[in-house]
Amino acid sequence: MEGVNAERFRAGYEAFNKSGVGAILELLDPAIQVHDRPTLPDRATYHGWSGVQKLFEVMIEAFDDVQFEVEKVIDRGDNVIVGLRQLARGRNSGIRVAGETAHLWTLRNGRPIALTIFGTCDEALDALRRAEARESVNS
């Protein structure tokens, strides 16, 4: 289900694909937090615009020509899940690889303040449902 944020996010990924991470930084809150996939053993949390740049520097050490194809956008108001097909080419091998990933964005006043990366949309939806359940219990 796509809502009011869908076109904005689609345009953001398109800008990234054309011009790289620099094209999207100003769309993000300067204090944004980015959380690697919870399933990664060496997952990290990146802080601020410099953290976002660091995340992509780490990715670009291994891959070049990194692209994201938006497959679906699930708009839940202050949370948006973007299902993606991630495409890249091995920097040294030249081999093209593709995989599924999902980005769970948290918004405040319409601006992204957090991003958590998941392997699939189902994983992102499960995490969002658990967070919403905790919030309703604490309210």
Q: Beta strand pairing status for 45-47 and 111-118?
A: unpaired
Distance CA 22, CA 13 (A): 12
pLDDT score for 137: 84
Residue-range domains of the chain with CATH: 6-138 (3.10.450.50)
Q: Would you call 127 helix, strand, or coil by DSSP?
A: helix
Starting at the earlier edge strand, list the strands of the sheet with 79-90: 45-47, 33-35, 111-118, 96-108, 79-90, 63-75
What's the sign of the alpha-carbon dihedral 91, 10, 70, 32?
positive
Q: Which two tokens stand for residue 47?
A: 């802080």
pLDDT in tens, the chain (139 residues): 466 688 899 999 999 999 989 999 999 999 999 999 888 777 889 999 999 999 888 877 888 888 999 999 999 989 999 999 999 988 888 889 999 999 999 999 989 999 999 999 999 999 999 988 888 888 6
**Dihedrals φ, ψ of 136, to 5°?**
-70, -30
| Element housing 29 (H / E) | none
- Please state whether the predicted TM-score (pTM) of the whole model is above 0.85: yes
pLDDT score for 4: 66
Q: Would you call 3 helix, strand, or coil by DSSP?
A: coil
8-state DSSP, 120: S
Distance CA 19, CA 39 (A): 29
